[in-house]
Amino acid sequence: MDSLDLFKYSRTASLIALSKVDKEHLDVQPEGYPNTIRWNAGHVYVTAEEYLNKADHSYEITHPKWFDYFIDGTRPSEWPEDEVPSMEEILDALKEQETRFETHFKNKMHEPASEDHVIRTINLDTPDAAIQFCTWHEGIHLGVIKSLLIAVKQ
């Protein structure tokens, strides 16, 4: 199995889970949770955009304004209500991103990254390494989304 296949598997699992979330649960922030289901979905998207752009600067970031809402350190409690992307927009962007990753990186997976990105003990020095990290990161946030869904239904 290659990294793009595993990424697509992870993204499909996320899209399935997110498509089952009732609209009234998207922005509920239970006690003890720093963010919401919508925030986690958007965070997965912008993090992947950031890391893959660092892996290859010719990979264009779409929705750069979304970083203001979803990058590490942001909080839904600080969002201006009328500008936040809808869940439908986020789902569409996640689907489109999957296709864009495959198209853009299919023949570049093992080329040197445009910019090395060191996260603690690992160096994302190729697009393949960046996609592997994004897949791991998405899996973590899928777990958080599922946990949030249980918490908001109680």
Q: Supply the mean pLDDT for the chain.
A: 95
Its pTM stands at 0.95
pLDDT at 109: 95
Dihedral Cα 142, 37, 104, 67, nearest 10 deg? -130
Say which residues have a Cβ less than 8 Å from residue 100's Cβ, sequence separation at least 6: 59, 62
Q: What is the pLDDT of residue 5?
A: 94
Distances (CA, A) of 55 to 61, 75, 79, 104, 133: 12, 27, 29, 11, 11
Q: Are 50 and 132 in contact (CB under 8 A)?
A: no
Mean pLDDT on 36-60:
97
Averaged pLDDT, 73-95: 92
